[in-house]
Structure formats: structure tokens, C-alpha cells
Amino acid sequence: MSSPAAPDPALLDELLDVALDAARRAGALLLDGRPADLAVAATKSSPVDVVTEMDLASEKLVLELIGARRPADGYLGEEGAERPGTSGVRWVVDPLDGTVNYLYGLPSWAVSVAAELDGRAVVGVVYAPARGELFHAVLGRGAHLDGGPPATRPLATRPAPPWGQALIATGFGYLKERRVRQAEVLLALMPEVRDIRRAGAAAVDLCDVAAGRLDGYYERGLAPWDRAAGCLIAAEAGALLGGRPGHGPDGELTVAAAPGVYEPLQERLAALHAWTD
């Protein structure tokens, strides 16, 4: 089977420009426009899975910007916006990843914007404005971070430590039954590794793998908008990605880790059937 044709470089440049613009503007709105009395506007899967008025405002801004710049493109967003396209490009957007962190004033939240071409992510941007960091990647061009010293730098996963010294991140679902099962998996893994982290925003965790701040990350239950941009950024930084045995990252399980950590992490998750409730 032949490999997919390489995307047009000019198109990739355009998509990156749109993604950066959308993420920066939405991030500025969220950072500067957060009301002092921010409240929950709605709940999704459970009473602790929340939407705020700022999630909705960010989604509206991104949708309108992309619609004006690329009207023939498709769009899939977390807060319900979805439209078909005719260009072969689809935008997959989480306008506020880490809503609970944002609600509580914690800094680990982000705007995640990915562009897919014929079903494959080719551009990914994750902007974490409270951390002053803008992560971005283009398929085949590597991943980069803007923010902090130096101002812009290429990203690379950290060298793999022994399994017992690996720092692993994860996340949890919002349904009680799933959380019980996820706690069982966590309980089995925790004695085996250096430590476990739970920051509360999948896109940020994936970028932290890319930046060498984590050795690996796994989570069950991620939606396309949770992982699309972050997975591309991690992969372009050298991380290996997968899910259940024989599958890529999906809603059942997403695994991202530096080579040398990915293999034992996925092996242990498979033995624990981490994708089951």
C-alpha cells in the first residue's frame, strides 16, 4: 500500500497560521475575560463534568474565525459545534481543555486547535496562556514551544529512564463507575514507577510529554478534541503513541511516551485491561 501523498507545504503554512491565530485569540479571551464570579453554565456527562460561559465564548470565537478564514472546511468542537466541509480539511477544537482547572483558577488549562487533512492531523496548536506557553507542530516538521527561555525552542522527549524511575501522568473520567476502575489501574501502577501526576488537561499532559517534563501519559475516555493537537505535538517531538493492543490512540485508551517507556507502559496497561470499566 502506498503512503499518503505529502501535504502541500503552502497549505500547511496557511493552516498553521489560522490555528495559531485562533488559539492565541481564544486564549487571550479566556485569560483576560474571566469574570470574577465565573459560574457553571451546564453539565455534561455528570454533575462534575462542567461547561462554563467562557467555554462557549471561546468556541464561538474560534468557530467564527475559522469560518471567516476557511469557509469550506469542516469543524468539530467540544461544545457541540459541528459542520461538514468540502475542502478535505476538518478542524478539531477544544476551546477550553481543563475547564475545572479554569473554574478553580488553576493554571493547567489550554485552547487546543488541530487541523486534519483527509482524516490525518497535520497541524496542532495547544496554547496554555496561564503558563505563558504556546505549543505547535506541523506534520513532518517537528514540534516547538513558544514561551519562556529561550523564546522559541524545538521539543524532544526526554531520554527514557528505567521503568521504576518513570514519571507518568494520567487523567480520570467523570462517571463514578469509570473512576473506580481507573483507580484500580492507578493503584497497580503506582508502586512500579517514580510517581504519578494528574494535571487535569489532556492536551497539556501530551505537550508535557513532548517537552520532556513527563516520561509518559495514558488516559481512557479522551474525545477527538482532547487528543488531536496534543498527540501530533507529542509524536513530532519523538513520542510513541498508541492505545489498546493493535490500535492507535482513541476513546478507549490513549498512550503517549518516550521510546523505552512507551513499551513497558503499554504492556502494563494491556495486562490491566485499562480500557475496560
Q: Which of 99, 132, 154 is the last residue of a domain?
A: 154
- List the one residue out of 225, 235, 224, 277 whose CA is nearest residue 259: 235
Query: pTM for the whole thing?
Result: 0.94
In a domain, 277, yes or no: no
Expressed as residue numbers, the domain containing 174 is 163-271
Amino acid at 69: R
Q: From CA 270, how far away is CA 87, in angstroms rounded?
A: 38
206 and 130, same structural domain? no
Q: What pLDDT is recorded for position 149?
A: 62
- List the one residue out of 207, 193, 248 whose CA is nearest residue 97: 207
Q: Which of 131, 154, 177 is the last residue of a domain?
A: 154
- List the one residue out of 142, 137, 147, 143 whose CA is nearest residue 15: 137
In a domain, 2, yes or no: no
Residue at grid coordinates 467523570: 174
Q: From CA 245, how far away is CA 235, in angstroms rounded?
A: 18
- List the one residue out of 19, 142, 4, 136 whose CA is nearest residue 73: 19
Q: From CA 111, how far away is CA 129, in angstroms rounded?
A: 9
In a domain, 4, yes or no: no
Q: From CA 206, how far away is CA 204, in angstroms rounded?
A: 5
Q: What pLDDT is recorded for position 188?
A: 97
192 and 92, same structural domain? no
186 and 54, same structural domain? no
Q: From CA 252, how far away is CA 264, in angstroms rounded?
A: 19
In a domain, 1, yes or no: no
Question: 154 with 181: CB under 8 angstroms?
Answer: no
Q: What pLDDT is recorded for position 49?
A: 54
Q: From CA 202, how far away is CA 189, in angstroms rounded?
A: 19
Domain count, the chain: 2
3-state secondary structure 97-153: ECHHHHHHCCCCCEEEEEEEECCEEEEEEEEEHHHCEEEEEECCCCEEEECCCCCEE
Lateral strand order in the sheet of 254-257: 195-197, 167-170, 216-219, 254-257, 240-242
Q: Residue 91 maps to which CATH number?
A: 3.30.540.10
143 and 202, same structural domain? no
Q: Distances in Å between the alpha carbon of 135 and those of 54, 60, 145, 174, 201?
A: 22, 22, 5, 27, 14
Q: What pLDDT is recorded for position 151?
A: 73
Question: 218 with 209: CB under 8 angstroms?
Answer: no
Q: What is the pLDDT along the chain (277 residues), one digit of tens a residue?
A: 455 678 899 999 999 999 999 999 999 999 998 877 777 766 666 665 566 788 889 999 999 999 999 999 999 998 777 889 999 999 999 999 998 899 889 999 999 999 999 999 999 999 999 999 999 999 999 999 997 666 789 999 999 999 999 999 999 988 888 899 999 999 999 999 999 999 999 999 999 999 999 999 999 999 999 999 999 999 999 999 999 999 999 999 999 999 999 999 999 999 999 999 8
Q: Distances in Å between the alpha carbon of 71 and those of 23, 121, 177?
A: 18, 19, 41
Question: 169 with 216: CB under 8 angstroms?
Answer: yes
Q: From CA 111, how far away is CA 136, in angstroms rounded?
A: 12
Beta-bridged to residue 133, according to DSSP, are: 128
